Amino acid sequence: MLAHLKQRVEEVLAPVRLANLATSGPAGIQARVYPCEALGVCLYLLVPGTSDQLFNLEHESTAVASTAHWQLRGHGYVRPLNQAPPALKLPAMAEAVGCVLVELRPTRLQINHIQGWGYGETIDIDDVDVCMKVVEEEV
């Protein structure tokens, strides 16, 4: 991924604290807003351990996280809290009890126009191991 595009993705994701996670699978279409935190270009969402979305992700990793400003498509992977990257603050939240992390490894970020409708920018992210590289860099 080109450095300036990586930087743009990081700038867009960094301030977000809540995002809607959408999945589809045996539990049907599921969408819910969860606490989240970006680490580099990866988004981590704090999801209750009993969520039907986890069941969906076991069968189909494709997921979408969105806010009013952007849509992030990628592959979601369930991670126990004790396997969180050290820099992540989500596991220390009081709400984390009974939760797991969904690590969303992005494949595309679509950023909405500031005014009007539709996407103003689309950034394809072709590095499938981008999240693992971020974690390795911080260790």
Band (126; pLDDT cuts 50, 70, 90): confident
Least-confidence region, from 12-26, 84-98, 108-122: 108-122
Residue with the two structure tokens 């920018």: 121
**Mean pLDDT calculated for residue range 87-95:** 95
Report the CATH number of the 3-138 domain. Answer: 2.30.110.10
Boundaries of every domain in the chain? 3-138
Evaluate whether 47 touches 75 at the Cβ level (below 8 Å). no
% of the chain exceeding 70 in pLDDT: 87
Q: Provide mean pLDDT across the span 32-40.
A: 97
Separation CA 122–CA 117 (nearest Å): 14
The angle subtended at Cα 113 by Cα 109 and Cα 117, nearest 5°, is: 105
- What would the two tokens of residue 120 be? 């103003």
What confidence tier does 136 reach under pLDDT thresholds 50, 70, 90? low
pTM for the predicted model, two decimal places = 0.89
Q: Mean per-residue pLDDT for 19-39?
A: 97
